[in-house]
Structure 1
Amino acid sequence: MKLWLNGEIIEEADARISPFDHGFLYGMGAFETFRTYDGFPFLIADHLTRIHFAMGEMGIQSGLNATEVKQMVTQLREANGGADGYFRLNVSAGVRGVGLDPSPYTEPLVMLLQKPLTPPPAERHAQWLNLRRNTPETSIRLKSHHYFNNLAARKEVADAKTEGIFLTEDGVISEGLASNVYWVKNGTLYTPDLSTGMLEGITRKMVLALARAEGIPVKEGRFTPEETQGASEWFLSNSIQEIVPITLFEGQLFPEDGPVCSQLKSEYQKKTKLHIESVR
């Protein structure tokens, strides 16, 4: 498929990135993944807020705004045939010599990548990972090029249907390989908080807002696997797959249509439809 690279739409085979780009040399880059609904990137303002925070932490200067990104998405989507897609907006620090120069990056490399959407899975399985979640490079985890912890842990998972769930070094639940994680116990929705070193998911923010609006009690915090005993539902969320129930977790079965997960899925889908209507 074609990609958008610093203002041009080009073939993948023609894309070139300098070996002196600090996104390559030192991992100084941030990215966001999102999908489109009828051509519109859902929650793009929230994604841009998060990537701008990450760029600020790294000293990467870019004036990316929602209008510009929507135009990029439209142009790339049309160049690739017009279908909705999975998009990755990537901002790399740009070219600089070898060495740890802390001065701001003023000429970043901006890319927008697209790949075909696949239908969200009806269910997922899950397992605890042996490899522990590493601590963020700074006080808050950024969605950055530093992704080896996830890739190394992925080797523990036998199949794509199964999501690995990270624990911290002190045995507290953190997040999935590519998702945030939730469980329901005695009618309360539980999820790890930011102190666990997880990425604060854009979809997670929506899930918790929907839960509170629906009167579902929510508890964020630091929880061990033992404290989840007695959970009646488990589910995951991310921007591409939305909200997906976990039906098998370490040999234990859970419902595909649990009441809390089903209610939140329905409300989330209503939001995507309202978003589409509001921008037409």
Structure 2
Amino acid sequence: MLIYLNGQFISKEDARISPFDHGFLYGIGLFETFRVYDGHPFLLDDHLERLNQGLAELSIQQQYTRKEIKNILQELLERNQLTNAYIRLNVSAGLGEVGLQVEPYLQPNLIIFPKPLPPAGELIEKKAVLLKVKRNSPEGNQRLKSHHYLNNVLAKREIGDFPDIEGIFLNEQGYLAEGIVSNLFWIKGNVLYSPSLHTGILNGITRQFVIQLGWENNLQIQEGLYSFEEALEADEMFVTNSIQEIVPITSFEGRNFPGKEGPWVQKFHQDYRQYCKNLWSRNSVRRE
């Protein structure tokens, strides 16, 4: 498999960065993960918007455009003979001396990792369990999709390597937060609920897309501070991320849900199929 590293397409076994990269030394780096569907990088504009905002916050003086990343992706996919793929776009701070740096980073490392994926389409159900590990608070004013992933690693170790289970964090105040690698939603009546960003969660790109779909489908949207007991009253529950899309939940702490039989899960899944091969931004979603 070939990856992209600072202007070159090289074998993943040959990839090298310096140990003086502050992404390695101090975790100063960001990444985005997204899917390519039949050659189209779904919601790329939204991913780049979040990435560029994070880079500015970390004083990494680099911004990326759709044209630039699209051209890299096209060649990367062609060289690897891929049309459907997992993409991780990673930006680390770049070289620095040992010690904390105040000055901006001027030469970050850009690495793009592809992995083959089968064509999407099937709803895959999971069970949700409440984690003992609490969601840590963000390092700054908001949670960035950064290299700081120990909290997630500890949570994953708690539940083990079971692909049909997603662990759900409570934050330090005891409110529902998010999954280990996902955002959490539930529906009761005509209301779509999701924990507020004030709980310290990552504002996932798929989360934002689903909220937009909710508006376009005339659902009321409620983002707030919720106990897990409140979520147990839901009609349907699901989690989201950019690789797994919409993941129906069949049970959570002893409460059963309809999973992939839920009508709203099915509707969002259908909407996903409609948009995934052509949409650049959630702002282009329009109800017919």
Normalising by structure 2, what TM-score?
Answer: 0.93
Match of 1:254 in 2: 257
Match of 1:135 in 2: 137
- Is the Cα–Cα contact under 8 Å of residues 39 and 74 in structure 1 kept in the other structure? yes
- CA RMSD, Structure 1 to Structure 2 (Å): 1.5
Among 174, 177, 181, which residue is 2:180 paired with? 177
Residue-pair matches, total: 277
Match of 1:24 in 2: 24
Match of 2:225 in 1: 222
Task: State the distance in 1 between where 2:82 and 2:265 align.
Answer: 32
Matched, 1:238 2:241: yes
| TM superposition shift of 1:252 | 2.6
- Is the Cα–Cα contact under 8 Å of residues 237 and 248 in structure 2 kept in the other structure? yes
- Is the Cα–Cα contact under 8 Å of residues 207 and 268 in structure 1 kept in the other structure? no
For residues 103-122 of structure 1, the aligned pairs below 5 Å read 103-118=103-118, 119=120, 121-122=123-124
Which consecutive segments of 4 or more residues in structure 1 shift more than 4 A? 118-121
For residue 126 of structure 1, give the secondary structure of its aligned residue in structure 2: strand
- Is the Cα–Cα contact under 8 Å of residues 42 and 277 in structure 2 kept in the other structure? no
Match of 2:48 in 1: 48
For residues 87-106 of structure 1, the aligned pairs below 5 Å read 87-106=87-106
1:87-139 C-alpha deviation (Å, 9 max, x unpaired): 00000000111011110000000000011215565211111110000000001
What amino acid is the match of 2:98?
V
For residue 235 of structure 1, give the secondary structure of its aligned residue in structure 2: strand
Match of 1:199 in 2: 202
- Is the Cα–Cα contact under 8 Å of residues 6 and 110 in structure 1 kept in the other structure? yes
- Specify every segment of 5 or more residues in structure 1 that has no aligned partner in the other structure, as ranges: none
Task: State the distance in 2 between where 1:274 and 1:111 align.
Answer: 24
For residue 75 of structure 2, give the secondary structure of its aligned residue in structure 1: helix
- Is the Cα–Cα contact under 8 Å of residues 87 and 113 in structure 1 kept in the other structure? yes
For residue 210 of structure 1, give the secondary structure of its aligned residue in structure 2: helix
Among 260, 267, 276, which residue is 1:272 paired with? 276
- Is the Cα–Cα contact under 8 Å of residues 6 and 111 in structure 1 kept in the other structure? yes
Task: State the distance in 1 between where 2:20 and 2:46 align.
Answer: 30
Among 157, 160, 168, which residue is 2:159 paired with? 157
The share of aligned pairs that are identical, in percent, is: 47
Task: State the distance in 2 between where 1:60 and 1:94 align.
Answer: 9
Task: State the distance in 1 between where 2:276 and 2:63 align.
Answer: 27
| TM superposition shift of 1:235 | 0.3
- Is the Cα–Cα contact under 8 Å of residues 203 and 242 in structure 1 kept in the other structure? yes
For residue 237 of structure 1, give the secondary structure of its aligned residue in structure 2: strand
| TM superposition shift of 1:273 | 4.0
| TM superposition shift of 1:184 | 1.3
Task: State the distance in 2 between where 1:62 and 1:205 align.
Answer: 24
The answer to which of 61-70 and 26-35 deviates more is 61-70
The answer to which of 216-225 and 103-112 deviates more is 216-225
For residue 155 of structure 1, give the secondary structure of its aligned residue in structure 2: helix
What amino acid is the match of 2:150?
F
